[in-house]
Chain A
Amino acid sequence: MADGAGLPPGEPVLSVRDLVMHFPIRRGLLRRRVGAVRAVDGVSFDILPGETLGLVGESGCGKSTVGRSVLRLYDITSGSIRLEGTEIGRMSQSRLRRLRPRMQMVFQDPMASLDPRMTVESIIREPLDEHTGLSAREKRERVAELMDAVGLNRRFAARYPHAFSGGQRQRIGIARALALNPRFVVCDEPIAALDVSIQAQVVNLLEDLQERFGLTYLFISHDLSMVRHIAGRVAVMYLGRIVESAPREALYADPLHPYTQALLSAVPEPDPALARSRRRIVLRGDVPSPANPPRGCNFSTRCPAVMPICREVDPLSQEVAPGRTVACHLHGPLAARTPNPVRETTRAPEAPSIPAGIPGDETPGQTPTRSVP
C-alpha cells in the first residue's frame, strides 16, 4: 500500500481532478429527476504533504461539499480523487473503510458534531474502537493522550458534550479526528461557529498540531483573514468552481480574478487611513442558483469587468504564473476561448452546437435550465 511516508517528495497527499458532485432534484408523484444542483462542478487541486490549502468562498458556493466529497462522505458524480496515490473516487464504502484512518474531518458545528448521548471518552474512543485492536486500557491511555494534546483536562473524560463550551467541544472534535494518526484532515469551517476570542485558540491549536504531527489540511472557511493566517495556498471558489488558486502572499497581494478582488476588498481594514483610501468593490445581485448556473462564465452575472465573451464561453483554468491558476477571460490566453464541448452541451441547451435534429427532445441534462426559473 502506498504510504505518505514512502511518497516521493513533491507528490501530493491529495490530488483531486475534475471533481463533480451533483445532487439530483426530484419532483412530482414519481419522484422523477428533473435536474441537479451542481454543488461542485469540476474542481481540481493538489495538496502537498504538510501543506494547508485554504478553500474560501461565500456560503453556498460548494466549499463544504468539496470537503465532504474528497472524504467520500458523498458518492461523487464523477472525477478522480487520489489519496496518497490511491484512487478513492470510485472505491466502495467497504473498501474505503480501511483507508478512513488516513483521512479525517473536523466539523463546522461543534454542537451538532458530537453525539449528545456519549461521554467525551467514548466519542474520542470511537475511531479507536472501529479501527484498532487495542485493549480497553490502551484505548483509555490513548484517549487521555489525545485530550492532553488538544488541551482538554483529562478529568472531563466522563462528561457529556453539553457540559462544554463551543471551543472545548471543537477540541473534542479535533481529538476525535486525530485519534487514528491521520495524514490528511479536512477542517470544514472549524471556527465558523465559535466566538472570535475562541477562534484564535482553535486555529493556533490546529497549527500547533500540524507542526507536531505533520498533518496536511484542507482548511475550508469563509473567513479570509483566518485563511491568510493558516493557509499556505488559497483556492477561491465561486458557484461550484475554483476561480483562482494561488500561494497565499501572491493571492492577497495581487488578486487576479474579479471575484477574488471583490472578496478581498470586503475584508475590513483596521487602519482608518488606509481604509479611507481603499477601493471597495461591491458586487451587485445574488449568487445564481447552482441548479441553474448562467451560460458562459459562472461569475458573468455579477462581474464588474464583464465582457461579451464571458456570457458566451466558459473560461478554462489557466496557469498564469508558477503555482497560480485563474479561470477568467481577462487573464487567459486566446486558447481559453475554445469552449469545452462537454460543458457546452450540458450547460447551454440552446447553443448551436446542439444537433437540431431532435426537436423537443428533453434529455435530463437540458430540462433544469428550462423548468427551474
Chain B
Amino acid sequence: MTDAASDPPAPGAREAAPPAGPAAATIAPAPALSASSDARLELAGSSQWRDVWRQFRTHRGALLGLFFLLFVTLFCIFGPWLWQVAPNALDVRNKDLRPVYSWLWNGDARASWSHPLGTDQLGRDLLAQLIAGGRVSLAVGWTAMLLAMLIGTLVGVLAGYFRRLDGLLMRFTDLVLALPILPLLLVVMLLFRDPLRAAFGPQTGIFILIVSVIGVTSWMQTARIVRGDVMALKEREFVLAARSIGTPARRMIPRHILPNVLSPIMVSATLGLASAIITESALSFLGLGFPSDFPTWGKLLFDATDRMADFPERVLWPGLAISLTVLSVNYIGDGLRDALDPRIRGR
C-alpha cells in the first residue's frame, strides 16, 4: 500500500472534498445521513441469518421436514432412556408378538403392553430395535453423506477451477464411476473388516468401514455437477472482477465459487443422505454390513421381508422411518437452497 500513503488525496480527504463539476449536483444526491444509518450497517451480519430463517419458514414442506427430522433424531438419541428395553435382549416366551394396535381390529391378537410394537421371531423388542437401528442408520447416513459431499465438492471445485487438474481428476472420477460397486464392496469388506475390527473394536470398526466405503463410492455425481457449475461460474464477470482486484484462488473459491455452487451441492447432499441409508441397508442385507445382532433400519427391513405377509408391522415401521427421514431431508434441502439464495429470499 505504498500508493495510498503517497497519493496526494488521502482516502478520507478525497471524499470530504466538495464535489466538483456540474454533474455532481444532479447525480449524487447523497442525503446527509445521521448515526442511525451506521446502526443499520452494523446490523447487516445478524439480520442476514434472520432473513434466511424467515424465508425457510415460508417453505411448509421444509418446516415439516425439519420438525420430523428433529423428532426422529431426538427419538433415537434419547429413546433408550425412555424405553429401557435392550434391543438385543431375547424374550423367547414372548416371541412373534403383534403390536398393541392390532387389538383394534382383532380382539384376541397376541400382543402385550410390555412390547408395544411387537417382537420378532427371537423375541427382540421392535421398538427398542427401531431406536437402536435409527441411531446407526442416521449416523451412517449423515457421516457417509458428509464424506461424499466433501470428496465430491473438493474434486469438482479443483477440476472446474484449475484447468490443469481437470483432465486428471475427471478421468479419475470416470474410473471410479465405472467400477462395479457391489463386487468392490465385497472385496473391501473382506480385506479390511478384520484389521479395522481389531483396531477399533467390532462396532466402531465396522462403522468406519461402512461409512468410508459408502462415502468413497458415492461422490462422483456431485463432483461432476459441481465441476460443470464451477466452470460456468469461472467465466462470469464477477469472478473476473475479483481477479482484477487481485483475489488469489485460495480466497476466490470460498468467497465466490462455493456460495454460488451451494444449490447443486445441497440437492446432491439430500439425495446422498437417502442413498447412504439405503446402501447401508443393502450392505446389511448381503451380510456385509453390521453383525447380525446389531440392528439398523435397513437390516430390520430385510430381516422381516421373509414373513412380511404375516407380520407387516416389521416391514412397515423401519420402512416408514427410512422413507420419512429421506423425504424430510429432501424437503429441508429444498427449503434451505431457496433460503440461502438472496435472489429468491426477497420474494
Contacts and interface: CB of A to CB of B under 8 A. Distances in A.
Interface of A: 1, 3, 5-6, 68, 71, 73, 94, 96-97, 100-102, 104-105, 107-109, 112-119, 121, 126-127, 130-133, 140, 142, 144-155, 157-158, 160, 162-163, 173, 176, 180-181, 183, 201, 204-205, 207-208, 211-214
B33 A207 contact: no
A71 B28 CA distance: 29
Contacts of B241: 105, 107, 113-114, 173, 176
Contacts of A127: 245-246
B236 interface: yes
- Overall SS of chain B's interface: helix
A104 B244 contact: yes
B41 A157 contact: yes
Interface stretch (B18-26, B70-78, B118-126, B297-305): B18-26
Contacts, number: 175
B8 interface: yes
Contact of A1 (B2, B4, B31): B2
Contacts of A213: 9, 14
A105 B21 contact: no
B41 to A, nearest CB: 5
B200 interface: no
B267 interface: no
Contacts of A145: 11-12, 15
Contact of A155 (B37, B238, B255, B346): B37
Contacts of A104: 244-245
24 contacts: A101-B4, A101-B246, A107-B240, A114-B241, A115-B238, A115-B242, A116-B260, A119-B44, A126-B255, A127-B246, A145-B12, A146-B15, A148-B30, A149-B15, A150-B28, A151-B28, A151-B29, A153-B33, A158-B41, A160-B342, A162-B343, A204-B21, A208-B21, A213-B9
Contacts of A162: 342-343, 346
A3 B2 contact: yes
B40 interface: yes
Given A145-B12, A151-B29, A162-B343, 15 more contacts: A3-B7, A5-B6, A101-B3, A112-B237, A116-B343, A118-B259, A121-B44, A126-B242, A132-B4, A146-B15, A151-B30, A153-B31, A183-B3, A204-B21, A212-B20
B23 A207 contact: yes
Contacts of B342: 116-117, 160, 162
B338 to A, nearest CB: 13
B41 A154 contact: yes
Interface string B170-207: 00000000000000000000000000000000000000
Nearest to B167: A31
B11 A181 contact: yes
B58 interface: no
Contact of A131 (B15, B21, B246, B251): B246
Q: Which 10 A-B pairs have the closest CB atoms?
A: A204-B23, A158-B44, A100-B246, A151-B28, A160-B342, A113-B237, A145-B15, A112-B237, A97-B246, A117-B259
Contact of B44 (A6, A68, A157): A157
Contacts of A118: 255-256, 259
B82 interface: no
B27 interface: yes
A205 B27 contact: yes
B58 to A, nearest CB: 18
Contact of A205 (B14, B15, B28, B238): B28
Contacts of B346: 160, 162-163
A130 B246 contact: yes
B323 interface: no
B6 to A, nearest CB: 5
B104 interface: no
Given A107-B241, A126-B245, A208-B28, A158 B47 contact: yes
A126 to B, nearest CB: 6
Interface string B229-268: 0000000111011111111100100011001101000000
A5 B237 contact: no
Contacts of B168: none
Interface of B: 1-4, 6-9, 11-12, 14-15, 17, 19-21, 23-24, 26-31, 33, 37-38, 40-44, 47-48, 236-238, 240-248, 251, 255-256, 259-260, 262, 341-343, 346
Contacts of B17: 212
Contact of B3 (A148, A152, A181, A214): A181
Nearest to A151: B28
A154 B33 CA distance: 8
B40 A158 contact: yes
Given A102-B3, A155-B40, A117 B28 contact: no
Contacts of A183: 3
A207 B24 CA distance: 10
Contacts of B37: 144, 154-155
A30 B260 CA distance: 32
Nearest to B243: A73
Nearest to A71: B244
B15 A148 contact: yes
Contact of B1 (A68, A131, A149): A131
Contact of B28 (A68, A140, A149): A149
A5 B4 CA distance: 11
Given A100-B244, A158-B41, A208 B238 contact: no
Interface centre among B4, B41, B240, B244 (most CB of A within 10 A): B244
B167 to A, nearest CB: 9
Contacts of A151: 27-30
Contacts of B8: 5, 214
A102 B240 CA distance: 17
B32 to A, nearest CB: 10
Contacts of A152: 30
A96 B245 CA distance: 10
